[in-house]
Structure 1
Amino acid sequence: MYAAERHEAIAGAVREHGRVSVLDLAAQFDVTGETIRRDLAALERTGHVHRVHGGAVDPGLTTLDAGERPLTQRITEHSEAKIAIGIAAQQFLPTAGGSVFFDAGTTTYQAARALTDPRELTLATNALGIAATLAKLPAVNLHLIGGRLRGLTQASVGADTVAAIAKLRISVAFVGTNGLSARHGCSTPDPDEAAVKSAIVACANRVVVLADSSKFNSDELVSFAPLSEVDVIVTDSDADPADIARLTEQGIEVVTA
């Protein structure tokens, strides 16, 4: 299939279904995710689609429809990849006596679920669901960071949250992201969430970004960390080798689950 034919088919799918994903399109057309992202970029320039993290939507959708979706919807997307990433992230836990911050997000939630190590750790999070999961562990000292609760993500945000995080010195931070690109680093749709994520990155000795491959080569509204501030990226096995190579060239350790 020629690129023009693929573009026409993708545009038709967006018109019919309202939304398409990079992973589904790559499988459908038997091409790489990077090829599909180039296709979507070309279609966006001509006004046929609006790119969002992991795919594209009909440009006629409202900003709310096209942007960030509720946690209950996102938690089921790419669930197998996220579970695998959460398990792989356990290798970056600090030694006993260390501290870990779990950023809000569906992939960081899987990292919290996978934590069964009995070593004594101090854990912190600004996410209600993650806090509830970590609270079940017997040997941890858990801190739930307060602030204004954002219903869409069930996470604390705002000036009080940022100020509380800024006082911490964390061994390892598991950070989620909605977009990941070489030019803009890590990004997310909401400015308040971005401010919290920036504070988490700044307080951590080691930053481990947990992101499935659908987040690669996409940008959201607000950048919260350049790639120079990221030490490790844990992603899934569908990540494009070319993307991994570019990240590795920038000194980032990339682990595929």
Structure 2
Amino acid sequence: MNEENADVMFAEERQAAIARLIREKGKVLVPELVGRFKMSPATIRNDLRDLEARGQIKRTHGGAIPGDAARVGYELDNNGKTVKELRLKAVIAAKAASLVEDGDIVILDAGITTREMSKHLYDKKNLTVIVNDIEIAAILEKFEGVSVVVIGGMLRRNFHCTVGPLAVKLLSELNVDKVFLGTNGFSASKGCTTPDMNQAEVKRTMIQIATQVVLLCDSAKIGKNSFVQFAEPSRIDLMITDSLISRQHLDELAETGLEVMVEPVE
């Protein structure tokens, strides 16, 4: 196989590996990447340009360092997701929706994956859904068999969801069958993490009032840590992810005892 074909077939996987290496080491040089990935300097530089354009790394003279998207406090808003990320989220969302039964009382956490999940609930009957995301509420209100409870609070700008003491208080008075959570990062050592402290408190409360906790986490977030922990791995009953997850990460998750559903991605 020549380099041109390998680059077409494996560019996304290689770039993801380069980004991980830069996060782990703090700085890498082009010759090191050339030797590790057996690609030409021109191809590696193209990879670095692509990663920099996505905010994952910052190019330096002769190499690269972590960029904004690699910092623990960084968070893309809902308009900053790539086509690939949206494809992974859609697969996970469809599986999550299949776990919702008629008559359930559930919480959908704020986020794109849960928003995609909400679109699959159109045919449910006698379903009650608690949300703090106004976009999800707007989708669900169209479904005849779904009752929607919107949690109030301070609206988080650009993220379309409510947070703060009022949201926490209202949630803490409820009991639900299932909560479907999103996360910005998940690792075997730190569990679920998010950049925003107020968002973390809302998520913790959602976990506390649910009988079953289901985490919707695409493979791009696994192995990453953000600023604030909101759940240890032991607090999650089930994780749904996609088939692009690495074998290493699957092995790490298995060691935690966490049940994982891996949904195929074409």
With normalisation by structure 2, the TM-score equals 0.76
The structure 2 residue matched to 1:85, chosen from 68, 82, 92, is: 92
Corresponding residue of 1:67:
74
Q: Aligned-pair distance for 1:41? A: 3.0
Corresponding residue of 2:170:
164
Corresponding residue of 2:121:
115
Corresponding residue of 2:24:
42
Which has the larger Rg? 2
Contact 1:40 1:56 in 2 (8 A): no
Q: Does 1:28 align with 2:11?
A: yes
Give distance in 2, aligned partners of 1:236 and 1:204: 24
Corresponding residue of 1:12:
none
- The 3-state SS of whatever aligns with 1:205 is strand
When the two chains are superposed, the root-mean-square deviation of aligned CA atoms in Å is 3.2
Contact 1:87 1:114 in 2 (8 A): yes
Corresponding residue of 2:43:
none
Contact 2:188 2:256 in 1 (8 A): no
Give distance in 2, aligned partners of 1:103 and 1:202: 13
Corresponding residue of 1:219:
225
Q: How many correspondences in the alignment?
A: 229
| Structure 2 gap ranges (5+) | 1-6, 31-47, 59-64
- The 3-state SS of whatever aligns with 1:217 is coil
Change (3 A) 1:29 1:106: closer
Partner AA of 1:27 in structure 2: F
With normalisation by structure 1, the TM-score equals 0.78
Corresponding residue of 2:193:
187
Give distance in 2, aligned partners of 1:181 and 1:55: 21
Corresponding residue of 1:57:
57
1:141-185, CA deviations, whole angstroms, 9 ceiling, x for partnerless residues? 110101000012111000000111111111111100000001110
Corresponding residue of 1:202:
208
Give distance in 2, aligned partners of 1:175 and 1:29: 26
Partner AA of 1:238 in structure 2: L
Give distance in 1, aligned partners of 2:55 and 2:246: 15
